Amino acid sequence: MGKRFSYGMVGGGPGALIGEIHRRGISMTERADLVAGCFSRNEEKNRSAAQELQIAEDRVYGDYKEMAAAESARADGIDFVCIVTANATHYEIAKEFLMHGIHVACDKPLCFTSAQAQELADIAKEKGLMFAVTYTYSACDATILARELVRKGEIGEVMNVNATYFQGWMLDVMYGTEEKSDIPVWRTQPSQSGISNCVGDIGSHIENTVYRITGLHPARVVAVLDKYGQPLDTNANILVEYANGVHGVYSSSQVFTGERCDLEVSVFGTEGTLEWTWREADRLSVTKRGQGTRHYFAPHAGDPDAADTKHARAFANIYAPFMDAIEKTQSGVITDLAAADFPTVVDGTAGVKFIEAVVRSDAAHAAWEEV
């Protein structure tokens, strides 16, 4: 695989949280150049981002629709678009680029409803376009290794899953503190975030990370959500049952003072247990029955710079196979998005269905809900 790609970005303007980290992740692959963008709806911010990113004047767009039309009409138009806007606009932007024949990478949660998600998946399939959904944590070197080990039977049959994702920034929003979090507060608003804040924003990472490691999506859920007076959930306790009858507990919270961002996953199997935490993202621990614990360290473990760039490295682990898959489409080989080695629109659709089931279960006073 050696093609050099060009890509465009929607979102990721000055002060945005995740767009810059996508750009760093993509540049780590050394395979793609950012050549076009609509980085903000604010014209001044859009221009200033474009200037800093050295985008040619004629490829800075005031509107994503104009960008999709113009780029698809150019002989040297972008190969793919990276969508890093707030959740509310993912569906319309992704659909626009797909309709113009452009491959898509979009951040999570994929969109607001499972009907929208399914529509995006169907369009991508029908047009033979690749569609990545950038679930960071399932693409760390150590979680990719965890997936391989589970597939090889290293921990036997999965018997139980326990996964948590904790942050503390909502307490700043609720009670006010001098040191404000850098996490944008649009997440608290249904118009921007969708039907869920905490589960949509971070519980969805749990769902995908556990799925990519174990191959298990929840089939049924029981959920209790806490809003603490906010418009959307800020704390979630969820019991899940997979199709094979195995259970798991997913817990996510934004009221854990002192925790900025930590995802932890433990998978208990008949032959052993597998443990991983974002805090030490380069380490995977496997304890086999009767054999003690073995720690696997990813290549960057121990490098202090790597700790700063771990989000970007995970994105690189998504964008590299995504670009391989795009390159294959150019020779007529279409990767099945349900079985790709990067998280796709199919994962994103499962994620939205999970969010919907959790919200339904909570509304029904913790009734079991099918996903």
Ligand X SMILES: NC(=O)c1ccc[n+]([C@@H]2O[C@H](COP(=O)([O-])OP(=O)(O)OC[C@H]3O[C@@H](n4cnc5c(N)ncnc54)[C@H](O)[C@@H]3O)[C@@H](O)[C@H]2O)c1
Which spans of this chain sit near ligand X (rule: CB under 6 A)? Answer: 10-13, 16-19, 38-41, 64, 84-87, 89, 107-108, 134, 136, 184, 186, 201
Strand ranges in 150-261 using DSSP code E only, listed in sequence order: 158-166, 218-226, 235-242, 247-253
Distances in whole angstroms, Cα of residue 316 to Cα of each of 18, 38, 311: 14, 22, 9
When CB distances to ligand X are compared, the closest residue is 11
Please report how close the Cβ of residue 184 comes to ligand X at its closest, in angstroms: 4
Please report how close the Cβ of residue 9 comes to ligand X at its closest, in angstroms: 9
Please report how close the Cβ of residue 137 comes to ligand X at its closest, in angstroms: 7
Please report how close the Cβ of residue 366 comes to ligand X at its closest, in angstroms: 26
Residue (43 or 157) nearer to ligand X, CB: 43
Residue (192 or 251) nearer to ligand X, CB: 192
Alpha-carbon gap, residue 45 to 48, rounded angstroms: 5
Please report how close the Cβ of residue 259 comes to ligand X at its closest, in angstroms: 15
Torsion over CA: 334, 337, 338, 340 (sign): positive
Residue (186 or 228) nearer to ligand X, CB: 186
The pair of three-digit structure tokens given for residue 163, joined into one six-digit string: 């996964």
Residue (106 or 145) nearer to ligand X, CB: 106
Q: What are phi and psi of 102, to 5 degrees?
A: -105, 130
Neighbours of 4 (CB within 10 A): 10
The number of helix segments (H) and strand segments (E) in the chain equals: 13, 14
Alpha helix segments (H runs only) across the chain: 19-29, 43-52, 64-73, 90-99, 114-127, 141-151, 170-175, 190-193, 198, 204-214, 304-308, 310-329, 345-363
Please report how close the Cβ of residue 38 comes to ligand X at its closest, in angstroms: 5
Residue (156 or 184) nearer to ligand X, CB: 184
Residue (162 or 189) nearer to ligand X, CB: 189
